């Protein structure tokens, strides 16, 4: 999907297709569990935590966050961490 729709020649953990229109937030979020498992091992976190992070990442794209530049990536990571912290606190 990454190659076909985004012209990226690498694996990714999450792809978001944003169909948001005016006041309606809509889209598709596709998650590669194989890549999520690899990420969890690489970052030495649990699979469930890493899955939550990529889910949050996809939703952040739907509400307007980008991750093309270094500044955007930093902002995205901050929001991911905030949301993940809140989610983990609810458990």
**To which H or E segment does residue 16 belong?**
strand 14-18
- Give the global pTM: 0.86
Segment 35-61 shows an average pLDDT of 96
In this predicted structure, what is the pLDDT of residue 1?
66
User: Binning pLDDT at 50, 70 and 90, where does residue 10 land?
Assistant: low
Domains and CATH numbers, the chain: 2-90 (3.40.390.30)
User: Binning pLDDT at 50, 70 and 90, where does residue 81 land?
Assistant: very high
- Give residue 66's Cα distance to chain centre: 10
């Amino acid at each position: 999907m990454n190659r076909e729709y985004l012209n990226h020649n690498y694996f990714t953990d999450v792809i978001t297709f944003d169909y948001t229109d005016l006041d309606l937030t809509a889209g598709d979020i596709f998650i590669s569990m194989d890549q999520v498992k690899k990420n969890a091992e690489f970052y030495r976190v649990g699979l469930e935590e890493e899955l939550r992070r990529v889910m949050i990442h996809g939703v952040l794209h739907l509400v307007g966050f980008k991750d093309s530049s270094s500044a955007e990536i930093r902002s995205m990571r901050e929001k991911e961490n905030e949301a993940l912290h809140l989610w983990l606190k609810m458990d």
